[in-house]
Chains A and B, each alone.
Chain A
Amino acid sequence: MRDMSKFADIQIDPGIVKRAARGDVRAHEIIYRAFSSPVYSVCLRFTRVPAQAEDLLQETFIEVMRSISKFRGEAPLGSWIRRIAISKALMYLRSAWHSRGQSLDDDWDEVTAGGAEVHGVPGRPDQALDLDAALGNLPPVSRAVVWLHDVEGFTHREIAGLMGKTESFSKSQLSRAYRRLRPLLDPSVGNTATGSVLRGPALQSC
């Protein structure tokens, strides 16, 4: 796994971790303040629903509190917390709470049936200017695969393990997502957007 996510940039003093392992609320609050934004952002990317992302954030840090005494420091704390958050977010995608009861199966048919695009041509030109919106229009599982692979640096094998699927499934999801996102990478689009593609708008919580 290429550790290229924002989690890896956050350093926590080992003394804080030890205090947290003893149940020190201040230490836990420090850890929360350090990692809450990246955790929440990942959860929001996966779910697109602020209320659910908040719940996943809560579940993640409760799990951190339950388990931090077992954390041995062999990997960075951020990687450990990220793993918990991603696990929770994927559980959400598998859960009954996920809208329409979708499973972690191939759900591209539903998306393409909606007429969004065929063969990489965006249905609405303005969506090509907005990476965040384009991500949001991917099927949830594909969005998760893109994020895990391209941002968090997970391999297809790792993604397959996390999702309980095959490597081929992960590769297929990524490939189809790339085809959908390809118009965003057209240099002429980037120029006319005066760089707005690079700055996709932040998701807003409500």
Chain B
Amino acid sequence: MTDKERMDEAIAGGLDESQRDLLRARLSALPDTVPPRAVWQRIEAQARAEGLLSGTRFRQSSKWLAGAAIAAAVAIVVLRLPFTAGPAIDTQSFGTEPPLAEMQNNNGLHAVNALMVQSQRLERNLRALPGQPSVMRAGTAATIYELEAGIAAIDSRLNHSEDSLTQEQAEIYWRERVRLMDSLVRLRYAQAQRVSF
């Protein structure tokens, strides 16, 4: 047996040619899976937020953005609650913040939409992580609680003040929500890593 034959046999993993053909045929015959319908809506929303689409179909609810009225100055204070001391987690591997230049190039509405999409993506990432362990460090538990409380406060503000927020205020809220969600996901991810090892 030549070297090439030995190598070919090794690659074949003990399968002869007909078995390999059969395996390929069976693999190719596996049926495709249809994705959930909602995925296209998410894609369209993100694409519009990034300004990738032309056309007049605009599905985002802009009611609460158009109804800019009272400046929720008090609410902004909420955004500065003590969430700045995030957990020490590697920040290089996530990249969840939108590129600054990209955000500056968009107008305010696009920026808000992009932040909303980003927030949804972080929510999905969070859901994809394993559940919280039954036992966790007190410091971790406290930080998670603070992050969740901050997100809840912002959600409450957004839900109950949607007609009274200016576009700029809405952007601030959504940006802060993304930041807190990002911290929460990082923390939960690090927690999951610790549990798995």
A interface residues (Cβ-Cβ under 8 A, vs B): 4-6, 22-26, 28-29, 32, 36-38, 40-41, 44, 49, 51-55, 57-58, 61-62, 65-66, 95-97, 99-101, 120, 131-132, 135, 146-147, 150-151, 171, 174-179, 181-182, 184-185, 197-200, 202-205
Nearest-CB residue, chain B, relative to A44:
B33
Q: Total A-B pairs in contact (CB under 8 Å)?
A: 149
Q: Any chain A CB within 8 A of the CB of B93?
A: yes
If over half of A's interface residues share one DSSP class (helix, strand or loop), that class is named, otherwise mixed; here it is helix
Decide: A96 and B93 in contact? CB cutoff 8 A.
yes
Contacts of A22 in B (CB 8 A): 54
Contacts of B88 in A (CB 8 A): none
Q: Any chain A CB within 8 A of the CB of B23?
A: yes
Contacts of A36 in B (CB 8 A): 34-35, 39-40
How would residues 39 to 58 of chain B score, 1 for a CB under 8 Å from any chain A CB and 0 otherwise? 11011101100101111010
Contacts of B42 in A (CB 8 A): 58
A147-B47 contact, Cβ under 8 Å, with A66-B52, A101-B193, A182-B13: no
Nearest-CB residue, chain B, relative to A206:
B36
Nearest-CB residue, chain A, relative to B189:
A96
Interface size on B, residues (CB 8 A): 46
A32-B13 contact, Cβ under 8 Å, with A55-B124, A62-B50, A150-B27: no
* Cα A135 to Cα B50 with chains together (Å): 37
Contacts of B22 in A (CB 8 A): 185
Decide: B57 and A25 in contact? CB cutoff 8 A.
yes
B interface residues (Cβ-Cβ under 8 A, vs A): 10-15, 19-20, 22-24, 26-36, 39-40, 42-44, 46-47, 50, 52-55, 57, 93-94, 121, 124-125, 127-128, 189, 193, 196-197
If over half of B's interface residues share one DSSP class (helix, strand or loop), that class is named, otherwise mixed; here it is helix
Nearest-CB residue, chain B, relative to A204:
B33
Q: Closest Cβ of chain B: how far from A22's Cβ, in Å? A: 6
Decide: A198 and B29 in contact? CB cutoff 8 A.
yes
* Cα A151 to Cα B25 with chains together (Å): 8
Decide: B35 and A37 in contact? CB cutoff 8 A.
yes
Contacts of B23 in A (CB 8 A): 150, 178, 181, 184-185
Q: Could you say which of A37, A96, A99, A181 contacts B32, with CB atoms under 8 Å apart?
A: A37
Decide: A178 and B14 in contact? CB cutoff 8 A.
yes
* Cα A204 to Cα B27 with chains together (Å): 17
Contacts of B93 in A (CB 8 A): 95-96
* Cα A29 to Cα B42 with chains together (Å): 12
* Cα A184 to Cα B27 with chains together (Å): 11
A62-B39 contact, Cβ under 8 Å, with A28-B53, A179-B14: no
A151-B24 contact, Cβ under 8 Å, with A23-B53, A120-B14: yes
Q: Closest Cβ of chain B: how far from A122's Cβ, in Å? A: 14
Contacts of A66 in B (CB 8 A): 50, 52
Most B CB contacts (10 A, CB to CB) among A28, A44, A184 go to A28
Contacts of A32 in B (CB 8 A): 40, 43
Contacts of A51 in B (CB 8 A): 124, 127-128
Q: Could you say which of B11, B52, B128 contacts A175, with CB atoms under 8 Å apart?
A: B11
Decide: B33 and A202 in contact? CB cutoff 8 A.
yes
